[in-house]
Amino acid sequence: MISLRHVTTTFAARGKEPVVAVEDVSLEIPQGSIQGIIGFSGAGKSTLLRNINLLERPSTGEVEVAGTELTSLDGEELRQARHQIGMIFQGFNLVNNLTVAQNVELSLKFAGESSKSVRQARAAEALEIVDITEKAKAYPAQLSGGQKQRVAIARALATRPQVLLCDEPTSALDPFTTATVLQYLADVNRDLGITVVIVTHEMEVIKALADDVAVMEDGRLVEKFPAADLHREDFTPRTSIGRYLMSDGINVDRGGGHTAGAEESAPTPAPRVEENLTAAGGVR
Ligand SMILES: Nc1ncnc2c1ncn2[C@@H]1O[C@H](COP(=O)(O)OP(=O)(O)OP(=O)(O)O)[C@@H](O)[C@H]1O
């Protein structure tokens, strides 16, 4: 249902070296599934996610969603096709001077819904899905982070999309609130049949939610496996980045081996990755 074929996205700025954020990525995401995309900061996860709705148009390659090749569209046709794709973000992206209900109605207005009463009814329906109807008249500043993300989910669902793209949706939330938001995403997937694509650097999020996992490093998709494998004791990801992401992660050296100094106080990721991998069962 989502098909990425040889997608490459290069950012070129005058006077600077071009950055290849996504390099020749091909990925098939079945309808109604939950696809996790994991990798370190700068791996190209967000760019790849934004490639799916062409918020970031790939430099080369094709993107097809629900049988429509988005990369062949432009202007009004692309705008219409995008209505089948909702998106939520780490920072929620709500409009602060609009109420919760108005925020959700706004997405319907952008989608071309001209009837105010239809917009209001559809917004109310979307707020009900994430159980936040009682906050309809509140402003974003009056909500907790978890409530803001639920409103953002409602806003994304109001246009009745077939796909929901989630860019680090729980990174700003505590573990309990994270669990609540992930449960709503699972419910939306199960009850409405919406295909969910979730970008995260948290393996816990992937373990809790995803059907399939794609691992990114330096713009490339380096490994794919079913998320169920993560629950198998004998499963070892093929790539070192995959193994690292499965490890306990942070390993801070608090021994006295370092001399204080500006350069040395900054962490050096490479050896630490190796250290963590060794702790997690080893790299060869
Ligand atoms: N608009 C842009 N202009 C120039 N370079 C960009 C732009 N957006 C992203 N990049 C670069 O592309 C690379 C991939 O960035 P991207 O945000 O997709 O990675 P990411 O894996 O989502 O990282 P994070 O987890 O930190 O959000 C990085 O080197 C980043 O600096």
Task: Please give the ipTM for the structure prediction.
Answer: 0.97
pTM: 0.87
Q: Is 47 in the pocket of ligand 1 (CB under 6 A)?
A: yes
Q: Is 139 in the pocket of ligand 1 (CB under 6 A)?
A: no
Amino acid at 61: G
Of all protein residues, the one whose alpha carbon is nearest to atom 10 of ligand 1 is: 21
109 C-alpha to ligand 1 centroid (Å):
30
Element at 187 (helix H, strand E): helix 175-192
Judging by DSSP bridges, how do beta strands 212-217 and 85-89 pair with one another? unpaired
pLDDT in tens, the chain (284 residues): 999 999 999 999 888 899 999 999 999 999 999 999 999 899 999 999 999 999 999 999 999 999 999 999 999 999 989 989 999 999 999 999 999 999 999 999 998 899 999 999 999 999 999 999 999 999 999 999 999 999 999 999 999 999 999 999 999 999 999 999 999 999 999 999 999 999 998 888 998 999 999 999 999 999 999 999 988 888 888 888 888 777 765 667 787 655 444 444 333 343 333 333 333 333 32
Amino acid at 112: G
Which DSSP state fits 138?
A: S
Asked whether 152 and 104 are in contact (CB, 8 A), the reply is no
CA distance 46 to 168: 9
Q: Is 14 helix (H, G, I), strand (E, B) or coil?
A: coil
CA distance 194 to 160: 9
58 C-alpha to ligand 1 centroid (Å):
13
136 C-alpha to ligand 1 centroid (Å):
34
CA distance 52 to 164: 10
Instruction: Encode 247-272 in three state secondary structure.
Output: CCCCCCCCCCCCCCCHHHHCCCHHHH
Amino acid at 99: T
Asked whether 104 and 127 are in contact (CB, 8 A), the reply is yes
